[in-house]
């Protein structure tokens, strides 16, 4: 399959983890990358690393949870660079939201980031992309979107929302020249997963995950999930009848 090239790209959540790795991966391949995140110190270090590699990466201070400001900032970047070719909604947060001790404030923060922030990122210049007849939108979901997981109600739901959003866009954008890709990573080493105390099967190194994601984007894959072992496991969970799923998951709480 022919791989695409991008003159410009925006990657959110670029201060660490998959976002950081993907921003640098794209920049090293000649893309002018706008690396967006709340924390500026890690972004400056990333920009310095990119410059040392002869790549172009520009730090952008952005909190996607501030949706209106996010839309305005992305539109400014789009106008200034002559049109963004690629927008990756990667910024997100995770953590437990158990039903028996439901943390409202934390849940709201997660929804503001994972749902509203992702839609603001992807939708900010979508009309402009359609008008130009080119562009690529990428949403970073999770294998947790395959089924509502115990103690992860807010996280699973936020990723289910993003998956459905990307699927609808994929259908709506047929024939416009604008592509839609939804990526479902499994467990990947990051600041978020480093806090987990439970087993994480098939945990991947960030570099390996970024390579897979980057090539899937360049191929224009509409949907991409990895690793295959966890994908198959989650597909089986998705197919289980509710009583069997409930009984199985109750043992893992």
Question: For residue 249, what pLDDT band results from cuts at 50, 70 and 90?
Answer: confident
Contact between residue 230 and residue 222 where contact means Cβ atoms under 8 Å apart:
no
Where along the chain do its domains lie? 8-251
- Angstrom CA distances, 175 to 164, 181, 196, stand at 20, 15, 43
Is residue 36 classed as helix, strand or coil in its secondary structure?
strand
Phi and psi at 9, nearest 5°, equal -150, 150
At 162-182, the pLDDT tens digits run: 999 999 999 999 999 999 999
Q: Which helix (H) or strand (E) holds 88?
A: strand 86-89
Question: For residue 191, what pLDDT band results from cuts at 50, 70 and 90?
Answer: low
Q: What is the percentage of the chain residues whose pLDDT exceeds 90?
A: 85
Question: For residue 253, what pLDDT band results from cuts at 50, 70 and 90?
Answer: low
Is 155 among the catalytic positions? yes
Q: Tell me the C-alpha distance between 210 and 227, whole Å.
A: 12
Q: Does domain 8-251 have CATH number 3.40.605.10?
A: no
Phi and psi at 68, nearest 5°, equal -65, -40
153 pLDDT above the threshold of 80: yes
Q: Which helix (H) or strand (E) holds 213?
A: helix 206-219
Mean pLDDT of 47-74: 97
Q: Tell me the C-alpha distance between 14 and 51, whole Å.
A: 16
Q: Tell me the C-alpha distance between 212 and 191, whole Å.
A: 20
């Amino acid at each position: 399959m022919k791989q695409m090239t991008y003159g410009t790209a925006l990657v959110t959540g670029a201060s660490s983890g998959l976002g950081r790795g993907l921003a640098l991966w794209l920049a090293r391949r000649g893309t002018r990358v706008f690396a967006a995140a709340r924390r500026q110190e890690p972004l400056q270090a990333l920009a310095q690393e990119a410059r040392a590699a002869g790549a172009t990466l520009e730090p952008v201070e952005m909190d996607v949870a501030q949706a209106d400001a996010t839309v305005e900032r992305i539109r400014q970047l789009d106008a200034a660079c002559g049109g963004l070719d690629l927008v990756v909604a990667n910024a997100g947060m995770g953590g437990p939201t158990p039903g028996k001790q439901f943390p409202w404030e934390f849940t709201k923060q997660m929804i503001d980031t994972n749902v509203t922030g992702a839609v603001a990122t992807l939708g900010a210049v979508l009309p402009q992309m359609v008008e130009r007849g080119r562009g690529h939108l990428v949403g970073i979901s999770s294998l947790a979107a395959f089924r509502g997981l115990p103690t992860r109600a807010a996280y699973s739901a936020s990723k289910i929302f993003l998956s459905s959003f990307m699927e609808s866009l994929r259908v709506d954008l047929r024939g416009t020249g604008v592509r839609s890709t939804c990526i479902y990573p499994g467990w990947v080493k990051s600041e978020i997963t480093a806090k987990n105390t439970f087993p994480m099967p098939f945990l991947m190194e960030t570099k390996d995950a970024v390579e897979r994601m980057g090539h899937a984007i360049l191929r224009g894959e509409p949907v991409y999930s990895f690793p295959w072992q966890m994908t198959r496991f989650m597909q089986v969970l998705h197919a289980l009848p509710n009583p069997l799923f409930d009984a199985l998951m109750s043992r893992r709480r």
